[in-house]
Structure 1
Amino acid sequence: MKFGVVVFPGSNCDRDVVTVTSGLLHCPTRRVWHQETDIHDLDVIVIPGGFSYGDYLRCGAIARFSPIMKSVIEHAKLGKYVLGICNGFQILTEVGLLPGALTRNENLHFICDQIPLRVEHTNSPWTQNYTCEQIITIPIAHGEGRYYADAETLQTLEDNGQVLFRYCSPTGDITPASNPNGSLNNIAGIVNHQGNVLGMMPHPERASDPLIKATDGLKLFEGILTGNPLLSLV
């Protein structure tokens, strides 16, 4: 499994991802500059967090026009894996690979914290190494992480089992108090209908190293290394 980590002007989490995929999992990994277009040799594309193009206009609005994104869209259409983390999630909604949008946090403040998440489904390559309703702790760091979609889109996501992660309490309760940014349905991460494209606001790469005694995010990366084909969504 070969990883590619896209780098835009303003990306700041690309090296964190490379540390996980190359340094911890020993997978071939290359950083892909946003002006590149040839990614045919890569199996997994990661669009990392950061502030692509300084978040001018709105998060991800300029990055969507980078040459690399056409190739990422084709990569996804071929059934290959795409992971968007934080700013990467925002970019994936901007280019239409994932539904909905990420808007300003409900309290209008930037939030940086360690947050409990509940794993909603394990019938996905991304979550197959977790257990259903497992509570994991993953860092967040964003100012525009409130997931929004219209009622019909939300219902489709729920009916198809496309919500993989929700913000929750330490005991797994899904409540307004456990929602750090006001995301509808406490949504923290979703996949497309095919299941190969995942977008999530929390940073699994920041919870993947035993040296910092935080490894809840590592299983997400390990899940797509098993060689299993895409599993059917509910």
Structure 2
Amino acid sequence: MARIGVVTFPGTLDDVDALRAVRLCGAQAVTLWHASDSLDGVDAVILPGGFSYGDYLRCGAIARFAPIMDEIIAAADKGMPVLGICNGFQVLCESHLLPGAMIRNEGQRFVCREQKLRVESNDTTWTCAFGSGDEISIVVKHGEGNYVCDDETLARLRDNQQIVFRYIGNPNGSRDDIAGVTNERGNVVGLMPHPEHSVDPLVSNSTDGRAFFASVQSFLAARV
């Protein structure tokens, strides 16, 4: 059984939801503490949503220097699957594991709703259970999810198929409707929507988030 770690930073809100989603989807959920210098032998890592360190300086800017991030960066460089959700995506950008940055939503308004996405790439450890071009429905809830990057970075993302998800009906002004991106290797993925909130029909209109957890488990099983 795959062991998937979920990191808790001060101010993290969605770690319990992510842990529950991991368990519901058939993997072993492991809590990782921000101040730890060990990944406890996990096979993959999730950086969940919330307001790490109160979003002081910039969203994710302080969390990037937590001791656990040194271990995550090193493991990601060796190929470990890492998923950043919302604030976790911001942390990955601040850590330079992913390109670009997030700024305040267009219109300066917090967005909380179910959101349609298009799967642009299923060639990652977290999306291989999707079909390219699939349209899925995932919850969004953020105030600083407006993805920005320079022209050179955008061209590189397009050329390398590193844009993983695009919004269908852009909720925040993100450049090129980008909802999520991956690194060149395809093992690190970040997105603003919350797949962990779209796994249980009891509390969500969609269970499309389950495919994220099925993807990484399939990848890890094939690697053994």
TM-score, scaled relative to structure 1: 0.91
> Which residue pairs with 2:186 in the alignment?
195
> Which residue pairs with 1:215 in the alignment?
207
Q: What per-residue deviation string (whole Å, max 9, x for no partner) do you get for residues 162-216 of structure 1?
A: 1110001xxxxxxxxx111010000000000010000000000000113234201
> Which residue pairs with 2:111 in the alignment?
111
Q: Please, which moves more after superposition, 26-35 or 191-200?
A: 26-35
Question: Is the Cα contact below 8 Å between 2:147 and 2:174 reproduced in 1?
Answer: yes
> Which residue pairs with 1:9 in the alignment?
10
Give the secondary-structure state (helix, strand or coil) at the position aligned to 2:122. coil
Question: Is the Cα contact below 8 Å between 1:36 and 1:68 reproduced in 2?
Answer: yes
Question: Is the aligned partner of 1:186 residue 2:177?
Answer: yes
Give the secondary-structure state (helix, strand or coil) at the position aligned to 1:17. helix
Supply the RMSD in Å over aligned alpha carbons: 1.1
> Which residue pairs with 1:148 in the alignment?
148
Question: Is the aligned partner of 1:228 residue 2:219?
Answer: no
Deviation (angstroms), 1:40: 5.3
Q: What per-residue deviation string (whole Å, max 9, x for no partner) do you get for residues 24-77 of structure 1?
A: 123222111100011151111100000001111110111111111101101101
Q: Which contiguous aligned blocks of 4+ residues in structure 1 show a shift greater than 3 angstroms?
A: none
Aligned residues: 219
| Distance (whole Å) between structure 2 residues aligned to residue 133 and residue 52 of structure 1 | 33
Question: Is the Cα contact below 8 Å between 2:60 and 2:91 reproduced in 1?
Answer: yes
| Distance (whole Å) between structure 2 residues aligned to residue 220 and residue 28 of structure 1 | 15
Q: Please, which moves more after superposition, 129-138 or 81-90?
A: 129-138
Q: 1:59-74 maps to which residues of 2 (within 5 A)?
A: 59-74=59-74
> Which residue pairs with 1:173 in the alignment?
none
Q: Percent identity?
A: 48
Deviation (angstroms), 1:123: 2.4
TM-score, scaled relative to structure 2: 0.95
Q: 1:50-61 maps to which residues of 2 (within 5 A)?
A: 50-61=50-61
> Which residue pairs with 2:137 in the alignment?
137
Q: What per-residue deviation string (whole Å, max 9, x for no partner) do you get for residues 115-141 of structure 1?
A: 100011222232221222111111111
